[in-house]
A and B are shown apart, each in its own frame.
Chain A
């Protein structure tokens, strides 16, 4: 861990919040992609059977 001195709180909070936001948008993107894909597969299967 680098020595951040008196600015440690500022630097660590910048990295903590930014990384949390990046992880959040990646997760939201991946989970929505999976959910929509599953629903589309089901709808296409119903159409194929119908």
Chain B
């Protein structure tokens, strides 16, 4: 029996064929989890005794912040694969993930601000976690701008990969800054393996479903966008050939 290897998906044809089958399923699952998680969280969970109804923002804020960081880490892995093994699909997947990561970062920043205002009395604080998250957002913008600015796709992939490695410091800082500095307004991890530290089950279960929805939405969007990037590259090659006669 032939052994399957992960590297087979670096072949654009294999990638297109496989994602053509799995993408509709992932998209439907993402929609179901998102709708169930958000509707459950918004309509069927009680207010928190301290935070009142603002606790409902958790179903947007935590999953989007989690995905903003993990999207960058996924881009880091894809960029490293590009730098080491020169697989074009991995470079295109990293490129495809960036706008999705920007969207999740924006959602996390916005929901954090509108949650912070009534709870902390301020929209923003130069707290280690918030500041590193804002810098991560700027890295996302720079990453997309760099892809657009460099005409040669391989050079663009090289430069953006290096930028991604540098930006990973801030992706990790935005996750662990609270532990490093132990200061600032932002609380520690919302999700913990420690039962004592974790949030109550009544908030935890819908939050888990919402997180699953955000993860699946990210996967679905990245797969679809990577497919588009592969097609765009093929289109560019055909247009160049046409021009050269």
Contact = CB atoms under 8 A, between A and B. Distances in A.
A18 B54 CA distance: 15
Interface in A22-37: 22, 24-26, 28-30, 32-33, 36-37
A36 B99 contact: no
Contact of A10 (B117, B217, B234, B235): B117
Interface in B129-152: none
A14 B42 CA distance: 11
Most buried by A among B53, B64, B99, B221: B53
Interface of B: 34, 38, 42-43, 47, 52-54, 56-57, 60-61, 64, 99-100, 103, 106-107, 110-111, 114-115, 117-118, 217, 221, 224-225, 227-228, 231-232, 234-235, 238-239, 241-242
Given A7-B54, A30-B224, A43-B235, 20 more contacts: A2-B56, A3-B53, A10-B115, A10-B117, A13-B114, A14-B56, A14-B61, A15-B38, A15-B56, A15-B60, A18-B64, A22-B107, A24-B103, A25-B103, A29-B228, A36-B228, A40-B232, A40-B234, A44-B238, A47-B242
Interface residues of A, number: 32
Contacts of A25: 99-100, 103, 221
Contacts of B100: 25, 29
A46 B221 contact: no
Interface of B is mostly: helix
**Top 7 closest A-B pairs, CB basis?**
A4-B53, A25-B103, A43-B238, A33-B228, A40-B235, A14-B111, A18-B60
